A = this chain, B = another copy of it.
Amino acid sequence: MSLTPNQHPIVLAIDMMGGDFGLDTTLPACRDFCGHHPNAQLRLVGDEAAIKAHPNAAALLALPQVHIIHAPEVVTMDDPLEVALRRKKNSSMRIAINQVKDAQAQAAVSAGNTGALMAIAQFVLKTLDGIERPAIASMLPNAMGTGTTVLDLGANVDCSAEHLQQFGLMGSAFVSATMSHSHASKPRVGLLNIGHEDIKGNKVVKLAAPLLKASPIHFIGNVEGSDIFKGTVDVVVCDGFVGNVLLKTTEGFSGLVRNRLNHSFKSTLWRKLGALFALPALNAFKSEFDSRKFNGAALLGLRGVVIKSHGGADAVAFGYALQRAHDAVAHDMLNKTSLMLAQLHAQQD
């Protein structure tokens, strides 16, 4: 990825209270981020007293680039959508997104409740023309090193064929706007299915295939779960239920692999010695599959940049989500994606 020069300082609004660990992870991650990005500005949205009282806060709050925006309420992981959306109008999540709407920040980042974040973002920011529902997109590693963007990862659990078609357009535009590999100008879009043949699939997928085929994108047909990791497709489209399951399955399997690799190198004294010699290669391997590196999914289809962190993210993982928000702004992701989407819609009409 090459950075587009950006004249104005990049300003991010951070929901400090979201996620499983709240300030314990968001504060150290923000501190670390400021160390790497002295020109960026952070708006810490959350309970002002709690932020100021936190043992990790002092060094961060002393920086001139950091400001607290007080938010007295927090959306919890269990809050029903109505509560998050209608009753908690002063939640840290809502106020962080308001910052984007009011052009006080160029992107919002939250590790909070996914459903609430999506609902609030859609309500406050509205969707782009031609998009009925926003989607969550993230990159998974592949053998070519280019990354495969998968969407939707959990925003829309019941999708129509038209929604899947829109995800194809959004994903294609997103990859074109933000990637620089050889396929980025014409991303290969695949429809996640249980076989490559046309006759395969559930009802919705069978209806979506001809719609994607008729769209002004480079649709390569059905792909399978295993294709995600090969690097033979750039954008994989699926409904949010399937996408969320595949994301968490990959994370879970990755954790098991890590666990068993450690176990294998500790099971005998001889193997422990072997591990010493193999350390550089083992560490390189582990680092490559560190799932924290892939934290930070983009909410696509909105009139604003919103990045969703994993709820269980630690400070390192939350830092990657902040980095992703920074890069999205630096790449002018929103304008480029909107433009590309408008062009695709124009071709389609």
The interface of chain A, by Cβ under 8 A from chain B, is: 77-78, 80, 141-143, 154, 157-158, 192, 194, 197, 199, 201-203, 205, 224-230, 238-242, 244-257, 259-261, 264-265, 267-268, 270-271, 273-282, 284-285, 288-289
A199 and B82 CA atoms in complex are apart in Å by 12
Q: B residues within 8 A CB of A229?
A: 252-253, 255-256
Residues of chain B lying within 8 A (CB to CB) of residue A256: 141-143, 229-230
Can you name 13 extra interface pairs (CB under 8 A) apart from A143-B256, A225-B247, A273-B277?
A: A192-B245, A202-B239, A224-B252, A226-B252, A228-B249, A242-B245, A245-B245, A260-B288, A265-B278, A271-B281, A271-B284, A278-B281, A278-B282
A246 to chain B, nearest CB (A): 5
- 9 A/B residue pairs, CB under 8 Å, sorted by A: A142-B256, A202-B239, A225-B252, A226-B249, A241-B242, A250-B250, A253-B254, A264-B281, A276-B277
**Which of A278, A279, A284, A289 lies at the interface centre, i.e. has the most chain B CB atoms within 10 A of its CB?**
A278
Chain B residue at smallest Cβ distance from A245: B225
- Contact indicator A202/B158 (Cβ below 8 Å): yes
Chain B positions within 8 Å of A80 at CB level: 199
**Inside 8 A of A264's CB, which chain B residues have their CB?**
281-282, 284-285, 288
Q: A interface, by DSSP: helix, strand, loop or mixed?
A: helix
Q: Which of B224, B274, B284, B288 contacts A278 (CB 8 A)?
A: B274
In the complex, the answer to whether A197 meets B78 with C-beta atoms within 8 Å is yes
Given A226-B251, A252-B225, A252-B226: A241 touches B194 (CB 8 Å cut-off): yes
User: Whole-angstrom distance between the alpha carbons of A51 and B144 in the complex?
Assistant: 40
Q: Are A275 and B265 in contact (CB under 8 A)?
A: no
User: Which 5 residue pairs of A and B lie closest in terms of their CB atoms, listed nearest first?
Assistant: A226-B252, A225-B248, A225-B249, A278-B278, A277-B277
- CB of A301 to closest CB in B, whole Å: 19
Q: For the complex, what is the distance from the CA of A261 to the CA of B278, rounded to whole Å?
A: 11
Question: What B residues does A275 contact at CB under 8 A?
Answer: 278, 281
